[in-house]
Amino acid sequence: MDPEYPPAIDFRALGRHMSRQRYQRGSLKKVGKTRKMWRGRWHVYVKQPDGSEKICKREMILGPVSELTKGLAQERLDAAIKASAGQFAPGAAPDMLFAEVWRRYVAMKAGAWSRATSIAVTSVFAHHMLPAIGVEKLRDLTRDPLQSCLNRMAAGGCSYSAVHKARTYLAAALEYAMDERLIQANPARKIEVPTQMLEEICERYFSVDEIRRLSETAHGRERIVLRIFIDCGLRAQELFALRVNDVEAQQLRVDEALKETERAERRVGARTKTRGSKGYVAISADLALEIHGWIEYNALRPEDFLFPSSSGTPFQIRNYLRRILKPLAKRAGILDLTYQALRRTCATHFNRHGSLRDTQAHMRHTSIRMTNWYVKEIPTDVREAVESMDAELWQGVDHERRVQ
């Protein structure tokens, strides 16, 4: 070989001795004529004696389509890939702990979460999840210990909201880990909120008689506040953020909400609970007259809050409930008045005068499913159907014989 020219480079040999880790999910396909089955296919990389790697195809039948959803079949395929190839996703340190993944996830969501959401979620994890699984290696996490965390929260008296937050954001954080290729499967995808271990969710709403007793007991400002709560279904943070210029011709404009975790001017925010919450709410002509009478009597200016405190600022929501509304309700013989019960009362009674879609629009819910949670009374058409069925099946039956 001529010494003046370097030897030719064998580009095929480049990287031949470098160990590589590859992330893959394989592919799923339904096969079979008489009985459909899930078939999974993937690749493995087998190291040769000379240090190079050879790609080999693998496949297996994962189970019948009638018994496995696509998600479950994918879980079985992920396990098979992991077992056969010994693969872990690149980018994950061997000893990475869940606490580190959670820290990275919270940092990523900092720009999307409100202050209230951030405080609520991080508090739940700091008190319940991180002490239990924070020091666990990410790769060692399975469904069992995660479900046990939720079960312990429920058994310890945590609210449905706290347990639901833990389940939602635990699954989201591990989904983020999958997106970052830190793990191949999300062990929290199938964990469930232990509803049977939690206290019953309050479904209280007030009857017509109770509403009239409240009306007779309340006077002035409190009467109008209660009427807006029950007629319009506003949330407390929306009602106490109303300004005089939000009162229009037989409608209220909802475009601000109180942020109880903030202070001073930041306490009134331009963001409502959801985007769908921002809009207009219809009010009756009689309620509009009562509101305008309140504005004129107190000589309120357009930019003033509709129901200001003595200092001209919005009321503290919890203080108004505890110091004013609850004592008033107690005098009316109602011992369990809450803002949620008032909003549920509006949805339940409004639904008797309009359709479920009308109720959804009035309550400004983003989904009809949420409206169904609020409407608690049996619809009139259901009651009429029961009466009709009973008359057909039992008409002419001797009542005395049935009770003997």
**In which band, very low, low, confident or very high, does the pLDDT at 124 lie, cut at 50, 70 and 90?**
very high
Q: What is the DSSP letter of 196?
A: G
CB atoms within 10 A of CB 277: 19
DSSP codes, 156-182 = TT--HHHHHHHHHHHHHHHHHHHHTTS
Number of Cα atoms under 13 Å in the Cβ half of residue 177: 30
**In which band, very low, low, confident or very high, does the pLDDT at 16 lie, cut at 50, 70 and 90?**
very low
**Contact (CB, 8 A) for 375 and 352:** no
**Contact (CB, 8 A) for 258 and 314:** yes
Residue bearing the bigger pLDDT, 374 or 252: 252
**Taking residues 359-373, what's their average pLDDT?**
85
Q: What is the DSSP letter of 251?
A: E
Closest CA to 234 of 291, 303, 191: 291
**In which band, very low, low, confident or very high, does the pLDDT at 397 lie, cut at 50, 70 and 90?**
low
Distances from the Cα of 381 to the Cα of 103, 178, 368, 386, 388, angstroms:
52, 48, 19, 9, 10
Q: Report whether pLDDT(271) > 90.
A: no
**Contact (CB, 8 A) for 87 and 22:** yes
Percent of the chain with pLDDT over 70: 85
Phi, psi of 27 (to 5 degrees): -135, 150
Strand order of the sheet with strand 27-31?
A: 27-31, 37-47, 53-64
Rounded Cα gap, residues 88 and 80, in angstroms: 12
Look at 65-69, 242-246, 270-274 and tell me which has the smallest mean pLDDT: 270-274
Per DSSP, which regions of 243-300 are E strands?
247-248, 251-254, 257-258, 268-269, 279-282
Q: What pLDDT was estimated at residue 57?
A: 82
DSSP codes, 78-139 = HHHHHHHH----TT--TT-BHHHHHHHHHHHHTTTS-HHHHHHHHHHIIIIIHHHHTTSBGG
Q: Report whether pLDDT(14) > 50.
A: no
Helix, strand, coil percentages, rounded to 5, for the chain: 50, 10, 40
**Taking residues 280-286, what's their average pLDDT?**
92
Percent of the chain with pLDDT over 90: 45
Q: Report whether pLDDT(65) > 90.
A: no
User: 3-class DSSP state for residue 341?
Assistant: helix
Phi, psi of 122 (to 5 degrees): -65, -30
pTM above 0.85, yes or no: no
Q: Report whether pLDDT(133) > 80.
A: yes
**Taking residues 109-131, what's their average pLDDT?**
88
Rounded Cα gap, residues 266 and 112, in angstroms: 17
Look at 10-24, 28-42, 138-152, 339-353 and tell me which has the smallest mean pLDDT: 10-24
Rounded Cα gap, residues 36 and 26, in angstroms: 19
pLDDT tens-digit readout, 229-239: 999 999 999 99
**Contact (CB, 8 A) for 366 and 358:** no
pLDDT tens-digit readout, 319-350: 999 999 999 999 999 999 999 999 999 999 99
Q: Give whichever of 58-62, 213-217, 349-353 has the largest mean pLDDT.
A: 213-217
Rounded Cα gap, residues 163 and 152, in angstroms: 10
Q: What pLDDT was estimated at residue 162?
A: 92
**In which band, very low, low, confident or very high, does the pLDDT at 404 lie, cut at 50, 70 and 90?**
very low
Q: Report whether pLDDT(97) > 60.
A: yes
Burial of residue 267 (CB within 10 Å: 0-12, 13-18, 19+) is middle
Rounded Cα gap, residues 320 and 277, in angstroms: 22
**Taking residues 305-309, what's their average pLDDT?**
95
pLDDT tens-digit readout, 316-326: 999 999 999 99
Map out the domains of the chain with their CATH numbers: 11-85 (no CATH), 98-197 (1.10.150.130), 208-374 (1.10.443.10)
Mean pLDDT of the chain: 84
**Taking residues 294-308, what's their average pLDDT?**
95
- Give the pair of three-digit tokens for residue 125: 């994890």
